[in-house]
Structure 1
């Protein structure tokens, strides 16, 4: 079984106020993390249409940046699913984007956070932005 792991950022109340005013930036969260989630959904679609010998599981949690409550709550359920359906988790793909450490930083980084975790990087060109600093 391959697991696709991603998160759905929860935005502060100020962002809701901006959206309700009607003068809002389309695509907030496009890179972190809507792009990764859309990529994983497309990969699942491809696996369903083609020949894929195995299982695919998608896990999207709501709070990757705070206390990881979503992931910690998901672990018992993942273990339960493994027991119920005889799943053997082999890989986890986290499609989290990677960013430079400061403006003008040309280095590419691999972030590791736990045993067996690898975050491959892809170079994307465009204007860097984040939901908290859209311009």
Structure 2
């Protein structure tokens, strides 16, 4: 299923962000419930935010992921992901933080995600 989603994203026209988001959200769900790699799911959801920021379902899935996994556990797992997986989304984590900075709890969680993204690839987790 993961390979199929990636193949579909490669053939979808560049102007079809809606389809790319659908595949990213599908990949996120596969990583949450099938592969059981919630931090990888987080990266797919954040990429969906980048592609189509106004798509409400993405935020619902992000909220469900954080509520189910706990943001500290997600951050610890994020810190253990290979740097090449995390690097493209560091700026997005920062942008999401700026957009949600008014919410103190969300801002604190994103600070932990930022720190985890910086530690990614170093083999250490706090």
Give the structure-2-normalised TM-score.
0.26
Higher strand fraction (1 or 2):
1
Q: Whose Rg is larger? A: 1
Question: Which structure is higher in RCO with an 8 Å CA cutoff and minimum separation 6?
Answer: 1
Q: Select the structure that is richer in helix.
A: 2
